[in-house]
Amino acid sequence: MKVLIIGGGGREHAIVWKLSQSSQIDKIYCCPGNAGISELAECINVDDNNFEALANFARYEGIDLTIVGPEAQLSKGIVDVFEKNGRKILGPNSKAAQLEGSKVFSKDLMKRCGIPTAEYKVFSSYLHAEDYVRMKGAPLVIKADGLAAGKGVIVAHTVDEAIAGLRLIMKDRAFGEAGNRVIVEECLEGEEASFMAFTDGKTILPMVSSQDHKRIFDGDKGPNTGGMGAYSPAPIITPELESFIMEKVMLRTIKGLQSEGINYKGILYAGIMVKDNKPYVLEFNCRLGDPETQPVLSRLKTDLLDIALAIADEKLSGINLEWKSGASVCVVAASKGYPGAYEKGKVIKGLDEAGTMDDVIVFHAGTAFNKNKIVTAGGRVLGVTALGKDIKEAKLKAYKAIEKIHFSGMHYRKDIADRAINRFSDDFMTDRKQPRTQKREAP
């Protein structure tokens, strides 16, 4: 069997790494891939935004299944093109991908379906939005409607910060057409977690919980990034909260989309804020999180290919997920300047030494080859991931590994997973038994 992966970041490396363990797969292709992915898959030189060319490649090479990593291709309709060409592909179509591609669509759906979320208003006029901000007062959250590479959300602690965010999005057009509309939203204070699930539009199979770190600096300081590290499990997601999220968020979302004639197939990811022990949805994503995928897939025991095929064929009810007990932690190594303009082409040393450590996987994100040397090629460069009996042990292993890696300007947070370690007892720091996740069926 042949499989094609779309994308070239740490998430896609984790997907390729997990698929490479399947005895059913003869060959893996990746577009565009990266230096780490190239050790496990053939990286192809096709424009990953030319969906017809990718569908033709899948047909000519006899690709049995394509898996899409990034949100941009999903929102632009890669699934529609592949399905039109009779190619099997994992991911929601363009209508379903509006759930991430348009925050207005997502918030309106949540409101109609009674899904707990922050109060909000939508604006297409800068002047009206500014008037509302001055009337409402801070803190507020300003969100660009469309995709903005994880940087279109501004948490404003003062009115001036909120107005500056509106100006950046609507007047300066920092995110282009994504800023044609904005959401001005109530600022929920609590603790965030990532809740991801597989779904074929009928069955919902939740993954183990995880939590990421958005800010660039220790102590959650500085600007938002795509994610500077993650860990699994997330102790904040108790069995009671998990059951609530499955019933009141995930199931209601799938049923709500069904009522509008949308069959959602792929990954459903809810960004959750837990406030006063109650979960609220901050946003939905239509793909695996990055870097959450790295610690989550490193714990998955079930063959990922079986899961992916079951989703594509709408037979997910026949899958039972199995996970490794314990915990996992991923620490991201970033380039100097990230999340702003960053340096490229810096030689990376120590990869072999770190990668041969027990229970450690070094996932590549922004890497490339230059004269047979692996160099930096992105803002987030590596995701050093480790497994342990609990979060403390996994964190210790991850940091021992990342200390062996060096490149000019390398930066990483020193406090990944500390919020869990400092707030929860050892009993909550691990999944010692089979996870408590249960299937849900949408009628």
pLDDT bin (cut points 50, 70, 90) of residue 151 is confident
Q: What pLDDT is attached to residue 428?
A: 58
**H-helix segments, 246-363:** 251-259, 293-297, 304-312, 351-355
Q: What pLDDT is attached to residue 439?
A: 72
**What type of residue sits at position 53?**
A
Q: Cβ(425)–Cβ(391) under 8 Å?
A: no
Q: Cβ(36)–Cβ(363) under 8 Å?
A: yes
Determine the Cα–Cα distance for residues 366 and 344; give it in Å rounded to an integer: 9
Q: What pLDDT is attached to residue 442?
A: 74
3-state secondary structure labels for all residues of 62-105:
CCCEEEECCHHHHHHCHHHHHHHCCCCEECCCCCCCHHHHCHHH
Asked if the model's pLDDT at residue 435 lies above 50, the reply is no
Mean pLDDT of 1-10: 98
> What is the pTM (predicted TM-score) of this model?
0.94
Q: What pLDDT is attached to residue 437?
A: 52
pLDDT in tens, 176-222: 999 999 999 999 999 999 999 999 999 999 999 999 999 999 999 99
Least Cα distance to 153 among 138, 131, 175 occurs for 175
pLDDT in tens, 51-93: 999 999 999 999 999 999 999 999 999 999 999 999 999 999 9
Q: What does the mean pLDDT of the chain come to?
A: 95
pLDDT bin (cut points 50, 70, 90) of residue 148 is confident
pLDDT in tens, 86-111: 999 999 999 999 999 999 999 999 99
CATH 3.30.470.20 residue ranges of the chain are 191-429
CATH 3.40.50.20 residue ranges of the chain are 2-93
pLDDT bin (cut points 50, 70, 90) of residue 434 is very low
CATH 3.30.1490.20 residue ranges of the chain are 125-180
Least Cα distance to 291 among 258, 246, 257, 334 occurs for 334
The CATH T-level fold of domain 191-429 is D-amino Acid Aminotransferase; Chain A, domain 1 (3.30.470)
Q: For residue 45, give both structure tokens.
A: 């030189």
pLDDT bin (cut points 50, 70, 90) of residue 223 is confident
Sheet with 380-388: list strands edge to edge: 211-212, 229-232, 327-334, 380-388, 360-364
The class level of CATH for 2-93 reads alpha beta
Per CATH, the architecture of 125-180 is what?
A: 2-Layer Sandwich (3.30)
Q: Name every residue whose Cβ is closer than 8 Å to that of residue 35 and which is 6 or more positions away in sequence.
A: 364, 367, 368, 369, 374, 377
Percent of the chain having pLDDT more than 90? 92
pLDDT in tens, 324-359: 999 999 999 999 999 999 999 999 999 999 999 999
pLDDT in tens, 377-432: 999 999 999 999 999 999 999 999 999 999 999 999 999 999 899 877 665 566 64
